């Protein structure tokens, strides 16, 4: 096994920052209208997402694992899932790990000194193959704690694997991964927080934050020359489990993804594994949220032909990408393969017309 170098290029982020913690109260209908109008008025500027450059294998491929909803101090089979991740990671010689959010339960981190970081991350994912960059987005449970703590570069002095930002890009040459902060899109966290306190520093005013996020994502996707485009968020666009489809993302995010040839949308939030492919969209909708507590016992999907795979238990997934092929594999807590899916893509510029 050989180590790989990776470089981070930090570009200034133009999302607004304020100490105001009050959420704006508007429904999805008015939100969609407002966001459409705002986006139409925004000048086409250079995207402001931070970009991380990820080295690829010598054969031009990349491989990585995806895990979500995991940070429970080793409980609920988190340690067992981590063990199998290490074994699969070694077999694949993975380049990095993606987390789809809810990194620390139940209420995020209290501070950068919170022992939960050690107990739920550093001490759990100890396999040699997992000592690679971890790219993480925030989930709704992370927003219930000190968000700035999870985002702090100080955590990298404790464990250099930890690369957590609100929205950012991982550029791996043949593929680009676009990480999107989806929690601020969900109306319920603002209108009906059910007694939970959310840390909206860096998000308020909400309308401006969402406008900037969507604008920067659309610009980044449109200007991307990557062969494969993957978008990662915490909340599902489509899901058969207990949280179901996220209507705000269906309305605001999905049209941007479809207009810019995104291949996969990968999320967590629902504590299960699933693969949905509909005739209405070219995107594959992938859930990897089985990192620890699972077995919700809920399933609701009305078009069975769209549901390619659903598993209500713990597990994770792998993705391997070459210039012309992509393959995903789902695994359970014992490392058993549950589901495979492969696709290929040949672009016009790849064709050889020489005589």
Feature table: binding site for Fe cation: 69, 102, 105, 140, 234, 269, 271
Residue 219 φ then ψ, to 5°: -65, -45
What Å distances lie between residue 17 and 13, 112, 191, CA to CA?
10, 20, 21
Q: Is the CB of residue 273 less than 8 Å from the CB of residue 288?
A: yes
Q: How far apart are CA 334 and CA 321, in angstroms?
A: 24
Active-site residue, from 141, 243, 275, 339: 243
Residue 120 φ then ψ, to 5°: -105, -15
Q: How far apart are CA 195 and CA 172, in angstroms?
A: 41
How is residue 351 written in tokens? 């064709």
Q: How far apart are CA 165 and CA 108, in angstroms?
A: 14
Active site residue 243: yes
Q: Is the CB of residue 294 less than 8 Å from the CB of residue 272?
A: yes
Tokens 């549901």 belong to: 307
Q: Binding site residues, as ranges? A: 69, 102, 105, 140, 234, 269, 271
DSSP H or E segment with residue 158 = helix 155-158
Angle formed at CA 65 by CA 87 and CA 89, multiple of 5 degrees: 25
- Within a 13 Å sphere around the CA of 259, how many CA atoms are in the beta-carbon half? 13
Helices and strands in the chain: count of H runs, count of E runs: 9, 16
Q: Is the CB of residue 269 less than 8 Å from the CB of residue 236?
A: yes
Paired strand residues for 340: 329
Q: How far apart are CA 211 and CA 254, in angstroms?
A: 15
Helices 28-41 and 206-223: angle between axes, nearest 10 degrees:
60
Q: How far apart are CA 301 and CA 296, in angstroms?
A: 15
List residues with catalytic annotation: 243
């Amino acid at each position: 096994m050989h180590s790989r170098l990776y470089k981070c290029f930090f570009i200034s982020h133009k999302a607004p920052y304020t100490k105001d913690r009050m959420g704006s109260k508007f429904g999805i209908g008015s939100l969609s209208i407002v966001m459409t109008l705002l986006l139409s008025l925004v000048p086409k500027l250079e995207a402001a997402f931070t970009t991380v450059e990820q080295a690829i294998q010598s054969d031009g491929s990349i491989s990585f694992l995806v895990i979500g909803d995991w940070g429970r101090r080793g409980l609920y089979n988190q340690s067992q899932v981590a063990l199998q991740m290490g074994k699969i990671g070694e077999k694949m010689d993975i380049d990095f790990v993606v987390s789809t959010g809810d990194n620390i339960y139940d209420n995020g981190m209290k501070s950068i000194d919170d022992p939960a970081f050690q107990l739920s991350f550093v001490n759990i994912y100890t396999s040699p193959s997992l000592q690679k960059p971890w790219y993480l987005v925030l989930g709704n449970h992370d927003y219930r704690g000190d968000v700035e703590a999870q985002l702090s570069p100080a955590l990298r002095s404790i464990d250099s694997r930890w690369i957590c930002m609100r929205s950012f890009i991982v550029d791996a040459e043949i593929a680009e991964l676009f990480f999107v902060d989806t929690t601020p899109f969900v109306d319920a966290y603002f209108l009906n927080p059910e007694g939970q306190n959310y840390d909206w520093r860096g998000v308020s005013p909400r309308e401006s934050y969402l406008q900037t996020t969507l604008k920067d994502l659309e610009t980044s996707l449109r200007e991307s020359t990557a062969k494969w485009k993957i978008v990662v968020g915490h909340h599902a666009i489509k899901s058969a489990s207990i949280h179901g489809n996220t209507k705000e993302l269906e309305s605001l995010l999905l049209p941007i993804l479809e207009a810019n040839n995104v291949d996969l949308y990968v999320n967590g939030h629902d504590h299960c594994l699933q693969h949905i492919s509909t005739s209405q969209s070219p995107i594959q909708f992938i859930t990897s949220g089985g990192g620890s507590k699972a077995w919700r016992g809920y399933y609701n999907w009305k078009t069975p032909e769209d549901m390619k795979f659903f598993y209500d238990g713990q597990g994770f997934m792998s993705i391997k990408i070459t210039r012309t092929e992509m393959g995903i594999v789902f695994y359970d807590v014992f490392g058993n393969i549950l589901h495979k899916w492969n696709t290929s893509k040949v672009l016009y510029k790849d064709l050889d017309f020489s005589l």
